[in-house]
């Protein structure tokens, strides 16, 4: 969590028009870019993985009496996904976003590095243990949502550095492979 220092909002956050979807194409592009950066920094700062489009307090500036309308939030979310700055946590409902303040590849690197450093090459781990196991405590990915861990592991599978399977008890497992 934040270590005493407050999150620094960008200057634009204090301007009312930041919360209205801009009609002009380049201005809108700039606006979406600014929001994308803000969301990434905000989530990274607070170690937030998932934001709920409807409820997220970041989209509302009470002091200015302004908030990003739901239509604008949808456009923003689509932009984030298109820019690979986020993934839908729920493809069907499209209400929750998994924010990638670190890229999937970046998360994959972290997990792989941790596995190598802890002598886990060739051994089998449960996906659950990555999320909340003792060995993973203190790691950046500790406490990350399942969707993110799975996305990172699938990236490792693509790189031939892991295989995923379902264990006899029904739990998902991963085997890390040496290079």
By beta-carbon proximity to other proteins, the closer residue of 11 and 179 is 11
- In the complex, least distance from residue 8 CB atom to other proteins, rounded to whole angstroms: 14
CB of 66: closest distance to other proteins in angstroms?
5
124 lies in the binding site for other proteins (CB under 8 A): no
Minimum separation from the CB atom of position 166 to other proteins (A): 48
Q: How many residues bind other proteins (CB under 8 A)?
A: 22
Name which of 53, 87, 92 is nearest 70 in CA terms.
Answer: 53
Fill in the per-residue mask, 14 to 33: x = in contact with other proteins (CB under 8 A), - = not in contact: xxxxxxx-xxxxxx-xxx--
Closer residue to other proteins, CB minimum distance, 12 or 45: 12
Taken in order 132, 104, 169, 179, the sign of the CA dihedral is: negative
Query: Based on CB atoms, which residue is closest to other proteins, 72 or 99?
Result: 72
Closest CB 29 distance from other proteins, rounded Å: 7
Instruction: Based on the shown chain and the rule CB under 8 A, indicate whether residue 66 belongs to the binding site for other proteins.
Output: yes
Q: How far is CA 62 from CA 14, 34, 38, 50, 151, in A?
A: 11, 19, 17, 22, 35
How far apart CA 35 and CA 59 sit, in angstroms, is 9
Rounded CA-CA distance 179/176 in Å is 10
- Cβ nearer to other proteins, comparing 18 with 101: 18
Instruction: Verify binding: residue 74, other proteins, rule CB under 8 A.
Output: no
Closest CA to 155 of 82, 90, 92, 87: 87
The secondary structure of residue 62, as a DSSP letter, is G
Q: Distance between CA atoms of 169 and 179, rounded to whole angstroms?
A: 29
Tell the smallest beta-carbon distance from residue 11 to other proteins (Å). 5
Task: Tell whether the torsion through CA atoms of 33, 39, 42 and 48 is positive or negative.
Answer: negative
- For other proteins, the binding residues (CB under 8 A) are 11-12, 14-20, 22-27, 29-31, 34, 65-67
């Amino acid at each position: 969590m934040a270590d005493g220092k407050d999150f620094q909002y960008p200057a634009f956050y204090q301007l009312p028009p930041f919360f209205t979807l801009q009609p002009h194409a380049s201005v809108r592009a700039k606006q979406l870019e600014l929001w994308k950066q803000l969301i990434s920094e905000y989530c990274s700062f607070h170690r937030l993985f998932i934001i709920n489009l409807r409820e997220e307090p970041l989209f509302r500036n009470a002091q200015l009496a302004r908030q990003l309308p739901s239509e604008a939030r949808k456009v923003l979310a689509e932009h984030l996904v298109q820019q690979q700055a986020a993934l839908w946590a729920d493809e069907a409902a499209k209400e929750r976003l998994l924010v990638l303040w670190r890229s999937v590849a970046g998360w994959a690197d972290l997990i792989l590095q941790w596995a190598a450093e802890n002598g886990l090459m060739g051994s089998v781990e449960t996906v659950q243990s990555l999320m909340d196991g003792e060995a993973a405590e203190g790691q950046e990915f500790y406490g990350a949502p399942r969707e993110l861990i799975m996305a990172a592991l699938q990236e490792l599978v693509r790189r031939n550095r892991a295989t995923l399977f379902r264990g006899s008890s029904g739990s998902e497992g991963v085997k890390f492979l040496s290079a």
